[in-house]
Chains A and B, each alone.
Chain A
């Protein structure tokens, strides 16, 4: 069996669920089996939201094996091939799913939790968060998705598609770019900007991990 597991993490309102849906619809389009659980209950603004995206391809001899039929929606500990975090602290909270080969793509701009706002907790410096992740995997890409979207497109609307471009460049997704782009065309408004955003994501990936 070949698997490819992606965890998407962020906070309510950032589009975590949308990003997961795009990655899954692309799999349906490409004929790859996919599943994954979402944490969305009580997903009002600011709460942690996750979407597990699990791709798998069974080998021919496994097709009738009853031990391989059920397809669970949860990525096991240390099982993520990729983590896409739309907020740095939420990347850190996703540590348990990472292993030494995990590719981590994370937004660099923090979103302040209420406790920090109220002065009862402190937000760690983003460099520290990067160091925590680097203790597990060297393949950390901290990137200003929001800044890039704002700069090129004037709003945050393209953040998710930029992330998709990065994911496609840095990971070994079992779905081809054409399937991703066709899904984006079908599901999101403004395809011209989104095509550019996808390319921008791939460009940002040209810079080394840092």
Chain B
């Protein structure tokens, strides 16, 4: 049994931040869950889908996109079922429309929005701080500081959502989502409303004209009611101290600040820990500031708390000097070290001796350390496609990249993506570039991104006669976020068949006349097809098929074929032309020192036997061997 389903109150289990968020929902009696996977929040969905075994009434879906997921959670709430929707921070942009009226219509059963943010943009195209949305969506924001709080706050958010008639946001940065540690379980609910019933409520749900204006007023009144009650909800907390300089912080930054104070030996600094950063409690903040000579706001990004606090301090006539963004830059992730340095500067206090010696050594030698970039896995269909595209395209080709594993196409040796900004950015802007310029435009899009937001763009390109080559890289999975099924997944890893969209038929139905299907791993025919597409005009779509190698490998382990296969490189025949090693750059092909200088070898532990290197080798130095395994084994 999954420990996250355990009914043992008080039991300590190992949980990821995302799992704690999910368990918080389970403890609150969650009935409906929807998500579009996105790092860092993807595992919330993975866990809840898995927990359907232990909680058979639980509904948990991977939605087509965040907009659909948000509307779904709201619908379930209206039907009286507690709902949760999870997405990464930029998913909020896709779901912004539903979230801007969700506060107007209000909820019936509690609704919680889990937002995985990414300061530092380590796995995103931006580091936007979604908390600012709440200044106009009016959705309250809770900020847990660690794994345990992630669960407690999520559970409490459901109750608050019902009490204040608003969906609540739980904000979890990547360092919390992917923090794994001890989680103490709380009790499971005795009864859960997995089924409900929609009740008509035209004044609220027909959010039009006068009704919309009235709803706006009720939404604001609910926020004010929450703001007034904030003092007794136990979400914000003051840790008293004798010093006249205090700290204001929230979320993970609280955990960093407390550790920084411990490192600096400053155990007497008063700290205001904000658990609910919207609406901010004005009385609490102004009273905390009043008692100080100076306040330090420990915040990353643009400084959401500082912005609000200054407004309330002004209204209250409090003029305590505030430093925040002067100490913490508005860009990049703020980690425990940046907090320690800034607090040492602001409060005085010294780092223990020897603490910086390693950092100094890194600075001395950093220039000699080659950078390490991500690469496509051995056997990845995208590597094969990129190789063929690189060869087929001319120097004037414009490459329209997009979001997915194939975003790695931006890197050497391929460099077949000229921009990456948001979901559907490739074909979206590429079709317009094609309308106003003469260079050929090739757009790349994965199957999941295509269904997420690419379909209207393709239709737009057809309707408006754009000259666009679109490669739909159909690897059958939402691979980058942990292999959630996509609309084209036709077989699960355990072999269970699944109803998949007929992608070629679908594209044709949109009015695309030139549609071809290609095998990603047959790079020569693919290159020929790409040349043909590039020479044509109008919308040309190639559906490049090739399953994610990680998933086919997993299936191979569960369903062994009875065959064994090797790919070997013969150093005698190899002319070291580098085509496999540098142009294809497969990690399974390595350079080793041979008796007469360096040789290339294929690592059998890494090789996925996709056969691409064999096909591209101009010297026939690479061979494939296939044998049937003996029964006696």
Contacts and interface: CB of A to CB of B under 8 A. Distances in A.
Nearest to B370: A121
Given A20-B180, A21-B180, A66-B239, A47 B605 contact: no
B354 A78 contact: yes
Contacts of A77: 337, 340, 355-356, 358-359
A46 B373 contact: yes
B375 A70 contact: no
Given A42-B122, A42-B123, A89-B372, A73 B181 contact: yes
Interface string A110-143: 0011111111111110001000110110000000
B626 to A, nearest CB: 21
Interface string B171-193: 00011101111100000000000
B623 to A, nearest CB: 23
Chain B residues touching A, range:
35 or more
A93 B180 contact: no
Given A35-B147, A73-B181, A44 B267 contact: no
If over half of B's interface residues share one DSSP class (helix, strand or loop), that class is named, otherwise mixed; here it is mixed
Given A45-B374, A45-B375, A77-B355, A70 B180 contact: no
A100 B354 contact: yes
Interface string B148-159: 110000000000
A114 B256 contact: no
B607 to A, nearest CB: 13
B405 interface: yes
B235 interface: no
Contacts of B459: none
Interface string A72-83: 111011110000
Contacts of A155: 605
A58 B361 CA distance: 32
Given A73-B176, A118-B413, A95 B255 contact: no
B370 A36 contact: no
Given A67-B261, A67-B267, A89-B370, A36 B582 contact: no
A92 B365 contact: yes
A92 B369 contact: yes
A118 B239 contact: no
Given A33-B182, A78-B355, A95-B358, A89 B369 contact: yes
Given A36-B181, A92-B365, A118 B358 contact: no
A76 B376 CA distance: 32
A47 B374 contact: yes
Given A11-B372, A41-B40, A118-B585, A99 B377 contact: no
Interface stretch (A23-31, A164-172, A197-205): A23-31
A78 B178 contact: no
Interface in A15-56: 20-21, 24-25, 27-28, 31, 33-48, 54
B39 A42 contact: yes
B237 interface: yes
Given A66-B237, A72-B259, A96-B359, A41 B146 contact: no
B6 to A, nearest CB: 12
Nearest to B583: A118
A96 B174 CA distance: 21
B197 interface: no
A99 B375 contact: no
B357 interface: yes
B591 A113 contact: no
A187 B368 CA distance: 38
Contacts of A38: 178-180
Contacts of B146: 35, 70-73
Given A27-B182, A78-B358, A44 B405 contact: yes
A156 interface: yes
B255 to A, nearest CB: 4
Residue of B123, B261, B355, B375 most packed against chain A (CB within 10 A): B375
B590 interface: yes
A179 B175 CA distance: 27
Closest 10 CB pairs of A and B: A41-B123, A35-B181, A78-B355, A121-B370, A73-B179, A72-B255, A47-B374, A98-B358, A70-B255, A46-B375
Given A38-B179, A42-B480, A78-B351, 11 more contacts: A24-B180, A31-B12, A47-B372, A71-B148, A76-B263, A95-B359, A96-B337, A115-B371, A118-B412, A123-B370, A135-B364
8 contacts: A21-B14, A35-B181, A41-B39, A44-B374, A45-B376, A77-B356, A77-B359, A92-B369
